[in-house]
C-alpha cells in the first residue's frame, strides 16, 4: 500500500557560488538564509533558507558533493525531500517497490532521512524525512552556537523589496513517459492526480496532490526541472523581474489562463524559478 506524505519538506540545489546565489535569491523572495557552513562529510558549503531551499556549494573537486553535481550534469536541482511520519515503514515500502536506498542519514536529535537512487527516481534523488520529537529545541541550540561563532549572526536577511509569499508550491519533474512516471509515484505515495492538456508548450502534464508535477519530455534529461514558489502579489513579481532585468521563459506545464512567471536559470544562479500566486 502506498505511504502517506505531508508533501514536499525541502529541496536541494547545487550551485557554484553559494554567496552569490543567496544574494540573488533573497533579492527576489523574502527569506532568511543560514550563514553557510562547511560540511566535512560531503566537502561542501551548505545553507538552508526559511523557504526550505537547501543550497550546497561543492568545495573539493573529488568530494561527495562535487561528484554528485557532476553526476547531474552540473549545477541545479538534485533532491526532493518528502515528509513522512514513519520513516522506517516508508523506507521499507519504497525499497519493496524496487527503488534502491543510497544512504540513511540525518542529524542527531533533529531528523532521520533516507535517500534513494536517482536512476530509480526519474533522475532525481528522492529523500524521505521524519523529524524527531523536540527537534525545535535542538535547532535553537545549534543556531545559538552558530551565532557565537559568527559575531552574533545566524541568518542572512532578505533584501529590501523582496517578494512575500507562501514558500514552495510545487516542483516539476521531467520524465520520458508520463503514464509510467504516474504509476511509479502512485505506488510510492498516496496522491490524487489532475491531467493538464491545454499547456502553453503543448507538452503532456499531470499534477499530483503532493506537490510533484510531471512533465513529459522525450529529448531532455529526466530530473527536477524547476521549482515554484507562491508569492502574494504577482504584479509586484512582474515589476521586480523588470527592475532586476530578469529574463522570462514560457510557463511550460501551465495552462494558457494560469498566472505564472518563469525566470531564466541563468539569472538565478542555476535555479529554474517559477513564481505563482500564493494559495
Judge if 80 and 175 occupy the same domain: no
Judge if 129 and 232 occupy the same domain: no
pLDDT value, residue 108? 82
pLDDT value, residue 225? 94
H-state helical runs in 29-115: 64-71, 87-96
Q: How many CA atoms lie within 13 A of 56 on its CB side?
A: 26
CA distance 111 to 26: 26
Q: What is the CATH number of the domain that holds 237?
A: 3.10.180.10
Judge if 84 and 207 occupy the same domain: no
List of the chain residues with pLDDT < 50:
none
List of residues 6+ apart from 133 with CB closer than 8 A: none
Judge if 140 and 185 occupy the same domain: no
Judge if 49 and 125 occupy the same domain: yes
In this structure, is residue 256 part of a structural domain?
Answer: yes
Whether residue 146 contacts residue 36, with contact meaning beta carbons closer than 8 Å, is answered with no
pLDDT value, residue 117? 97
Ordered DSSP codes for 180-248: HHHHHHHHHB---EEEE-SBTT---EEEETTSEEEEE-SSS--EEEEEEEEES-HHHHHHHHHHTT--E
CA distance 27 to 206: 31
Of 123, 156, 189, the residue that ends a domain is 156
> Cell digits for 140?
535553537
pLDDT value, residue 255? 82
In this structure, is residue 187 part of a structural domain?
Answer: yes
Most distant CA atoms of the chain, gap in Å: 54
Phi, psi values for residue 193, rounded to 5°: -130, 150
pLDDT value, residue 202? 76
Ordered DSSP codes for 141-175: HHHHHHHHHTTT--EEPPPTTPBPEEEEEEEEEEE
Of 156, 185, 217, the residue that ends a domain is 156
Judge if 198 and 254 occupy the same domain: yes
* Per-residue CA distances from 202 to 205, 226, 253, 268, 272 (Å): 9, 17, 8, 26, 19
Q: Is 253 left (phi over 0), alpha (psi -120 to 50) or beta?
A: left
- Chain-centroid distance of CA 246 in Å reads 21
In this structure, is residue 191 part of a structural domain?
Answer: yes
Tell me which residue range forms the domain holding 258.
Answer: 165-277
Of 104, 139, 156, the residue that ends a domain is 156
CA distance 168 to 232: 13
Number of domains comprising the chain: 2
In this structure, is residue 19 part of a structural domain?
Answer: yes
CA distance 123 to 120: 7
* Per-residue CA distances from 29 to 22, 39, 187, 269 (Å): 10, 26, 35, 14
Judge if 24 and 108 occupy the same domain: yes
Judge if 145 and 261 occupy the same domain: no
Judge if 184 and 152 occupy the same domain: no
pLDDT value, residue 256? 79
Judge if 146 and 188 occupy the same domain: no
pLDDT value, residue 261? 96
> Cell digits for 23?
544574494
Judge if 79 and 26 occupy the same domain: yes
Amino acid at each position: 500500500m502506498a505511504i502517506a506524505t505531508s508533501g514536499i519538506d525541502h529541496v536541494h540545489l547545487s550551485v557554484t557560488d553559494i554567496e552569490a546565489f543567496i544574494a540573488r535569491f533573497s533579492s527576489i523572495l523574502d527569506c532568511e538564509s543560514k550563514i553557510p557552513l562547511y560540511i566535512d562529510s560531503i566537502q561542501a558549503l551548505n545553507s538552508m533558507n526559511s523557504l526550505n531551499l537547501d543550497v550546497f556549494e561543492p568545495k573539493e573537486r573529488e568530494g561527495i558533493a562535487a561528484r554528485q553535481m557532476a553526476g547531474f550534469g552540473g549545477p541545479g536541482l538534485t533532491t526532493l525531500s518528502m515528509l513522512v511520519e514513519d520513516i522506517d515503514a516508508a523506507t521499507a515500502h519504497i525499497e519493496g517497490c524496487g527503488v534502491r536506498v543510497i544512504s540513511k542519514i540525518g542529524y542527531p536529535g533533529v531528523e532521520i532521512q533516507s535517500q534513494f537512487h536517482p536512476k530509480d527516481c526519474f533522475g532525481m534523488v528522492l529523500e524521505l524525512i521524519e523529524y524527531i520529537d523536540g527537534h525545535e529545541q535542538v535547532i535553537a541550540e545549534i543556531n545559538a552556537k552558530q551565532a557565537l561563532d559568527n559575531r552574533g549572526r545566524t541568518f542572512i536577511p532578505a533584501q529590501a523589496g523582496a517578494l512575500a509569499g507562501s514558500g514552495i508550491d510545487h516542483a516539476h519533474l521531467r520524465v520520458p513517459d508520463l503514464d509510467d512516471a504516474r504509476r511509479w509515484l502512485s505506488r510510492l505515495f498516496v496522491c490524487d492526480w489532475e491531467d493538464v492538456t491545454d499547456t502553453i508548450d503543448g507538452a503532456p502534464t499531470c499534477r499530483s496532490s503532493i506537490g510533484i508535477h510531471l512533465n513529459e519530455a522525450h529529448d531532455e534529461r529526466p530530473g527536477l526541472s524547476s521549482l515554484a514558489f507562491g508569492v502574494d502579489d504577482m504584479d509586484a513579481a512582474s515589476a521586480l523581474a523588470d527592475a532586476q532585468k530578469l529574463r522570462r521563459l514560457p510557463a511550460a506545464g501551465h495552462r494558457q489562463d494560469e498566472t505564472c512567471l518563469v525566470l531564466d536559470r541563468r539569472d538565478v544562479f542555476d535555479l529554474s524559478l517559477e513564481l505563482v500566486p500564493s494559495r
